[in-house]
Structure 1
Amino acid sequence: MPKTPALQEVIDAAEELWPHSLAESWDAVGLVAGRRDAPVAKIHFAVDPVSAVVDEACDAGAGLLITHHPLLLRGVTSVDASDPKGAVVHRLIESGCALLTAHTNGDSAVGGVNDVLAEILGLRDQEPLKPAEEGLTEEGLGRIGSLEPGMPLGEFASRVFGALPSVAGGVRVAGDQDAFVQRIALCGGAGDSLITAAHDAGADVYITGDLRHHPASEARERARGGRPYLIDVSHFASEWLWLPAAAQALDRVLSERGYEVEVAVSGINTDPWDFVLTPG
């Protein structure tokens, strides 16, 4: 007969999927709030621990909210409820809902953010752009793989656009839309730090979010108008795709251990932009 897990047992299952050791040194992952012996019958997944998402999880009676982005990435000295982050902490505690973060460990893990994005876009034989210092050879930041068959950049950009949740910013592309592309590099979230790695790996195009002006401009200068071309997507959208797969994977691990939980994925769009104006 399946039983309800305690929070610690869910944390143990999450550790199997998204090991803490894969997190970058600057990151803040793991348990943020919650009693480890509390029962968890409902688990909610989301990208951002913003107030609307926390309210959604708490109103649904979730015992645990798992988010990709950390709530307290930088040090704090107060969780005063008049502050937005403090208010989130109070709402979670008062509602009996724990908060767990799987950020760069969720990016690097097998079956994590980048593997899911690569699979959805149809890449084969993918490998990390920046292999993990400790862990499996398949683990690390970013992915690069092959598109079979290849296609024009404009057509591939349309595929990327169609695969992502609809957000105001859409998709931006730097490169000749008729250029043939087949070797694809990507990094969910903000990945302009891996542009050089994409270049060195021989990528025809590099997909990531939050591409800043100077790194993008410098990359295009180095490429002299050639490869790798760039596709800039929404940070939120590129990572939301992981949530259904993550929820399914955690549910499977818990089920294998004899536990039964109800798992839900938030449908709230937490991309910060509401509309965009474009020429013409």
Structure 2
Amino acid sequence: MPTLRAVLAAAEALWPADGAESWDAVGLVSGDPDAEVRHVHLTVDAVPEVAREAVALGADLLVAHHPLLLRGVTTIAETTYKGSVLATLVRGGCALLAAHTNADVVTTGTSAVLADRLGLVEQRPIEPGARPGTGIGRVGVLAAPMTLGALARHLVDVLPATASGVRVSGEHDRPVRTVALCAGAGDSLLGAPEVLAADVYVTSDLRHHPASEFRERAMLSDGPALVDTSHWATEWLWLDVAAAQLADATGVRVTVSDIRTDPWDFAVLPSSAPHADGTDEGPQSTDPEGAAA
């Protein structure tokens, strides 16, 4: 069996740390580099439930997309969320590795996987990175034009279910062909030339003021529509690809957590929600498990 040190070397080859943003905190969070690794478990977020799952499965390493210790902490007491995660993993003999923006920018990173799942061709980064083909976000072209509403429905079908679903700013029947996207939080790219030249921009965690300004500018200049998705959902798609790559590189068993770490459990909508054509659709609720809210 390979050591953790060898698995870390494989992860570095797949997701080079020098591709991470300067503010990021990627790499080994806890664990003994000389320990043997037989099983690796992948998740978007290292939360207590996922830590318990990894230990119960006998995993020797948990790879999380989001860094647990991105910002400084003054305690890892088990009464805290981060302390609970670390204590569970350390006691269970499971190391923790973060692969964040260094896994976003590679040619098989989070945005590239989402673009592939949407069927985009002629892909290129929104902001190119240091290596050919790498960079933040992706721009591509649909094989055939579709309406904005159809693209939103396609996203709902591609992404794992969440309470927040998919929110859209733009005319339902507007034709779209060129799609810019950024898996995870991407409002920093709202002003990027590649985004402004697209027919629609798909990303997550959009705040009111940036989204409102983008919408109003688009209405004045026939700019792109805007689609807001679940941060967790867009990045969860990457885990299967990352698992296959890591298994091929190391020969160890690699599994993916199905635990939904999206923070929202259900949504309650107005009893008579407006349809895109102005008509009412009747009572509305969204629940990722299919139950009524």
Q: Give TM class, smaller chain.
A: over 0.9
Are residues 91 and 7 of structure 1, via their aligned partners in 2, closer, same or farther at CA, if it must alter by over 3 Å? same
Local SS of the residue matching 2:262: coil
Equivalent-residue separation in structure 1 for 2:146 and 2:22 (angstroms): 38
What are the equivalent positions in structure 2 for 1:193-232 lying under 5 Å apart?
Answer: 193-197=188-192, 202-224=197-219, 226-232=222-228
TM-score using structure 2 length? 0.90
Equivalent-residue separation in structure 2 for 1:154 and 1:99 (angstroms): 40
Deviation at 1:88, TM superposition (A): 1.0
Task: Please tell me whether residue 248 in structure 1 is matched to residue 244 in structure 2.
Answer: yes
Equivalent-residue separation in structure 1 for 2:80 and 2:206 (angstroms): 29
Match of 2:257 among 241, 247, 266: 266
Equivalent-residue separation in structure 2 for 1:112 and 1:166 (angstroms): 21
Deviation at 1:201, TM superposition (A): 5.2
Partner of residue 151, structure 2: 156
Q: Is the 8 A contact 2:124 2:133 kept in 1?
A: yes
Task: Please tell me whether residue 239 in structure 1 is matched to residue 235 in structure 2.
Answer: yes
Equivalent-residue separation in structure 1 for 2:122 and 2:78 (angstroms): 48
Match of 2:167 among 160, 165, 172: 172
Match of 1:138 among 121, 133, 136: 133
Q: Is the 8 A contact 2:197 2:224 kept in 1?
A: yes
Equivalent-residue separation in structure 1 for 2:22 and 2:150 (angstroms): 38
Partner of residue 278, structure 1: 269
Q: Is the 8 A contact 1:199 1:228 kept in 2?
A: no
Partner of residue 111, structure 1: 108
Equivalent-residue separation in structure 1 for 2:45 and 2:92 (angstroms): 18
TM-score using structure 1 length? 0.94
Quick one: which amino acid aligns to residue 178 of structure 2? Answer: R
In structure 2, the gaps of 5 or more residues are: 273-293
Quick one: which amino acid aligns to residue 140 of structure 1? Answer: G
Runs of 4+ in 1 over 3 A off after TM superposition: 198-201
Quick one: which amino acid aligns to residue 249 of structure 2? Answer: V
CA RMSD of aligned residues (A): 1.1
* Number of residue-to-residue matches in the alignment: 270
Q: Is the 8 A contact 1:131 1:139 kept in 2?
A: yes
Q: Which has the higher contact order (CA 8 A, sep 6+)?
A: 1
Partner of residue 6, structure 1: 3
Q: Is the 8 A contact 2:121 2:141 kept in 1?
A: yes
Using the aligned pairs only, state the percent identity.
52
Cα offsets for 1:134-154 (capped at 9, x unmatched): 2x2211110001111111111
Q: Is the 8 A contact 1:32 1:98 kept in 2?
A: yes
Cα offsets for 1:171-202 (capped at 9, x unmatched): 00000111110000000011111111165551
Are residues 180 and 199 of structure 1, via their aligned partners in 2, closer, same or farther at CA, if it must alter by over 3 Å? same
Equivalent-residue separation in structure 1 for 2:147 and 2:263 (angstroms): 31
Equivalent-residue separation in structure 1 for 2:193 and 2:225 (angstroms): 10
Task: Please tell me whether residue 78 in structure 1 is matched to residue 75 in structure 2.
Answer: yes
Partner of residue 257, structure 1: none
